[in-house]
A = this chain, B = another copy of it.
Protein backbone atom coordinates (compact mmCIF):
# COMPACT_ATOMS: atom_id res chain seq x y z
CA UNK A 1 0.00 0.00 0.00
CA UNK A 2 1.25 3.44 -0.85
CA UNK A 3 1.73 6.24 1.60
CA UNK A 4 -1.26 7.63 3.44
CA UNK A 5 0.31 11.01 3.97
CA UNK A 6 -0.50 13.59 1.33
CA UNK A 7 1.98 15.23 -0.95
CA UNK A 8 2.59 18.87 0.07
CA UNK A 9 3.77 19.73 -3.41
CA UNK A 10 0.29 19.17 -4.80
CA UNK A 11 -1.38 21.17 -2.08
CA UNK A 12 -3.81 23.80 -3.24
CA UNK A 13 -2.63 27.19 -2.07
CA UNK A 14 -6.02 28.67 -2.86
CA UNK A 15 -7.74 26.25 -0.50
CA UNK A 16 -5.16 26.77 2.22
CA UNK A 17 -5.70 30.51 2.14
CA UNK A 18 -9.46 30.21 2.06
CA UNK A 19 -9.44 27.91 5.08
CA UNK A 20 -7.21 30.16 7.16
CA UNK A 21 -9.25 33.21 6.27
CA UNK A 22 -12.53 31.50 7.06
CA UNK A 23 -11.15 30.22 10.35
CA UNK A 24 -9.96 33.68 11.37
CA UNK A 25 -13.31 35.23 10.52
CA UNK A 26 -15.36 32.60 12.24
CA UNK A 27 -13.33 32.52 15.41
CA UNK A 28 -13.94 36.23 15.88
CA UNK A 29 -17.61 35.94 14.96
CA UNK A 30 -18.48 32.92 17.05
CA UNK A 31 -15.67 32.45 19.50
CA UNK A 32 -13.49 29.41 19.60
CA UNK A 33 -15.89 27.05 21.34
CA UNK A 34 -18.74 27.56 18.88
CA UNK A 35 -16.43 27.28 15.90
CA UNK A 36 -16.76 24.03 13.93
CA UNK A 37 -14.74 22.42 11.21
CA UNK A 38 -17.88 22.10 9.13
CA UNK A 39 -18.45 25.84 9.32
CA UNK A 40 -14.88 26.57 8.29
CA UNK A 41 -15.19 24.22 5.33
CA UNK A 42 -18.49 25.73 4.28
CA UNK A 43 -17.27 29.30 4.59
CA UNK A 44 -14.08 28.47 2.72
CA UNK A 45 -15.92 26.61 -0.02
CA UNK A 46 -13.84 23.57 0.65
CA UNK A 47 -14.47 19.91 1.37
CA UNK A 48 -14.04 18.90 4.99
CA UNK A 49 -11.53 16.30 3.91
CA UNK A 50 -9.21 19.02 2.69
CA UNK A 51 -9.04 20.37 6.21
CA UNK A 52 -8.57 16.96 7.78
CA UNK A 53 -5.91 16.18 5.23
CA UNK A 54 -3.64 19.03 6.28
CA UNK A 55 -4.47 19.80 9.91
CA UNK A 56 -4.82 17.37 12.80
CA UNK A 57 -7.34 19.37 14.83
CA UNK A 58 -9.52 22.43 15.01
CA UNK A 59 -6.97 24.03 17.31
CA UNK A 60 -4.21 23.60 14.77
CA UNK A 61 -6.23 25.36 12.09
CA UNK A 62 -7.06 28.31 14.30
CA UNK A 63 -3.50 28.50 15.48
CA UNK A 64 -2.24 28.69 11.92
CA UNK A 65 -4.92 31.21 11.10
CA UNK A 66 -3.83 33.48 13.92
CA UNK A 67 -0.19 33.08 12.94
CA UNK A 68 -0.99 33.95 9.35
CA UNK A 69 -2.65 37.10 10.61
CA UNK A 70 0.49 38.12 12.48
CA UNK A 71 3.85 38.64 10.91
CA UNK A 72 5.39 37.85 14.30
CA UNK A 73 6.35 34.43 13.25
CA UNK A 74 9.68 35.16 11.67
CA UNK A 75 12.49 37.04 13.36
CA UNK A 76 10.56 40.18 12.66
CA UNK A 77 10.02 40.77 16.33
CA UNK A 78 12.83 42.96 17.59
CA UNK A 79 13.00 44.49 20.99
CA UNK A 80 14.09 48.09 21.40
CA UNK A 81 17.54 48.63 22.77
CA UNK A 82 17.97 52.27 23.72
CA UNK A 83 20.57 51.49 26.30
CA UNK A 84 18.07 52.21 29.06
CA UNK A 85 16.91 48.76 30.10
CA UNK A 86 14.16 50.10 32.34
CA UNK A 87 12.66 52.16 29.55
CA UNK A 88 12.96 49.30 27.09
CA UNK A 89 11.26 46.82 29.40
CA UNK A 90 8.48 49.30 30.09
CA UNK A 91 7.94 49.63 26.37
CA UNK A 92 7.90 45.86 26.05
CA UNK A 93 5.47 45.19 28.87
CA UNK A 94 3.22 48.09 27.95
CA UNK A 95 2.88 46.55 24.52
CA UNK A 96 2.21 43.15 25.97
CA UNK A 97 -0.42 44.58 28.28
CA UNK A 98 -2.11 46.35 25.39
CA UNK A 99 -2.24 43.14 23.39
CA UNK A 100 -3.65 41.11 26.24
CA UNK A 101 -6.19 43.78 27.06
CA UNK A 102 -7.39 44.08 23.46
CA UNK A 103 -10.81 42.54 22.91
CA UNK A 104 -9.42 40.23 20.23
CA UNK A 105 -6.83 38.45 22.32
CA UNK A 106 -9.20 38.74 25.24
CA UNK A 107 -11.57 36.28 23.62
CA UNK A 108 -9.91 34.23 20.95
CA UNK A 109 -6.59 34.36 22.73
CA UNK A 110 -8.02 33.03 25.97
CA UNK A 111 -9.70 30.20 24.13
CA UNK A 112 -6.61 29.43 22.16
CA UNK A 113 -4.54 29.52 25.32
CA UNK A 114 -6.94 26.99 26.76
CA UNK A 115 -6.62 24.82 23.68
CA UNK A 116 -2.87 25.03 23.75
CA UNK A 117 -2.81 23.94 27.37
CA UNK A 118 -4.86 20.89 26.53
CA UNK A 119 -3.17 19.65 23.39
CA UNK A 120 0.52 18.76 23.83
CA UNK A 121 1.22 19.01 20.12
CA UNK A 122 -0.20 22.48 19.95
CA UNK A 123 1.77 23.44 23.02
CA UNK A 124 4.96 22.29 21.35
CA UNK A 125 4.19 24.28 18.25
CA UNK A 126 3.28 27.30 20.33
CA UNK A 127 6.52 27.09 22.25
CA UNK A 128 8.54 26.68 19.12
CA UNK A 129 6.97 29.25 16.88
CA UNK A 130 5.71 31.98 19.17
CA UNK A 131 6.68 31.76 22.77
CA UNK A 132 10.22 30.58 22.24
CA UNK A 133 11.32 33.37 19.92
CA UNK A 134 9.69 35.97 22.14
CA UNK A 135 11.44 34.69 25.23
CA UNK A 136 14.71 34.43 23.38
CA UNK A 137 14.79 38.04 22.21
CA UNK A 138 13.81 39.09 25.70
CA UNK A 139 16.66 37.10 27.16
CA UNK A 140 19.01 38.68 24.66
CA UNK A 141 17.99 42.14 25.78
CA UNK A 142 18.54 41.18 29.38
CA UNK A 143 21.93 39.71 28.65
CA UNK A 144 22.93 42.93 26.95
CA UNK A 145 21.85 44.84 30.04
CA UNK A 146 23.83 42.49 32.21
CA UNK A 147 26.88 42.99 30.05
CA UNK A 148 26.34 46.73 30.41
CA UNK A 149 26.41 46.29 34.16
CA UNK A 150 22.77 47.23 34.58
CA UNK A 151 21.85 43.82 35.95
CA UNK A 152 23.54 41.59 38.47
CA UNK A 153 26.23 39.42 36.98
CA UNK A 154 24.56 36.28 38.26
CA UNK A 155 21.06 37.14 37.00
CA UNK A 156 19.56 34.07 35.31
CA UNK A 157 17.90 35.08 32.04
CA UNK A 158 15.53 32.08 32.13
CA UNK A 159 14.19 32.99 35.50
CA UNK A 160 14.20 36.66 34.62
CA UNK A 161 11.86 36.32 31.64
CA UNK A 162 9.44 34.30 33.73
CA UNK A 163 9.58 36.98 36.37
CA UNK A 164 8.78 39.53 33.71
CA UNK A 165 5.97 37.88 31.81
CA UNK A 166 4.58 35.50 34.45
CA UNK A 167 2.89 38.00 36.76
CA UNK A 168 1.13 39.77 33.92
CA UNK A 169 0.01 36.51 32.38
CA UNK A 170 -1.23 35.36 35.77
CA UNK A 171 -3.26 38.53 36.22
CA UNK A 172 -4.64 38.28 32.70
CA UNK A 173 -5.70 34.66 32.82
CA UNK A 174 -7.36 34.96 36.21
CA UNK A 175 -8.82 38.38 35.63
CA UNK A 176 -7.23 39.68 38.80
CA UNK A 177 -7.06 43.31 37.75
CA UNK A 178 -6.60 45.79 34.93
CA UNK A 179 -3.70 45.52 32.49
CA UNK A 180 -2.73 49.10 31.90
CA UNK A 181 0.51 50.97 31.45
CA UNK A 182 0.72 51.86 35.11
CA UNK A 183 0.61 48.18 35.96
CA UNK A 184 3.30 47.45 33.42
CA UNK A 185 5.54 50.17 34.81
CA UNK A 186 5.19 49.02 38.40
CA UNK A 187 5.90 45.46 37.37
CA UNK A 188 9.06 46.47 35.51
CA UNK A 189 10.22 48.46 38.49
CA UNK A 190 9.84 45.49 40.83
CA UNK A 191 11.51 43.08 38.46
CA UNK A 192 14.47 45.37 37.93
CA UNK A 193 14.81 45.80 41.67
CA UNK A 194 15.16 42.03 41.87
CA UNK A 195 17.66 41.80 39.06
CA UNK A 196 19.88 44.76 39.68
CA UNK A 197 23.38 44.25 41.08
Contact = CB atoms under 8 A, between A and B. Distances in A.
Given A166-B166, A170-B166, A195-B190, A117 B127 contact: no
Interface size class of A (residues with CB under 8 A): 35 or more
B114 A173 contact: no
A30 to B, nearest CB: 13
B162 A163 contact: no
B111 A173 contact: no
A118 interface: yes
Interface stretch (A7-15, A70-78, A93-101, A174-182): A174-182
The 10 closest A-B CB pairs, nearest first, are: A166-B170, A166-B167, A114-B114, A166-B166, A194-B194, A162-B167, A190-B194, A114-B117, A193-B194, A114-B118
Given A114-B117, A162-B171, 12 more contacts: A111-B117, A111-B118, A117-B117, A159-B186, A159-B187, A159-B190, A162-B167, A162-B176, A163-B187, A163-B190, A166-B168, A166-B171
Interface of A: 32-33, 110-111, 113-115, 117-118, 123, 126-127, 131, 135, 156, 158-159, 162-163, 165-171, 173-177, 186-187, 190-191, 193-195
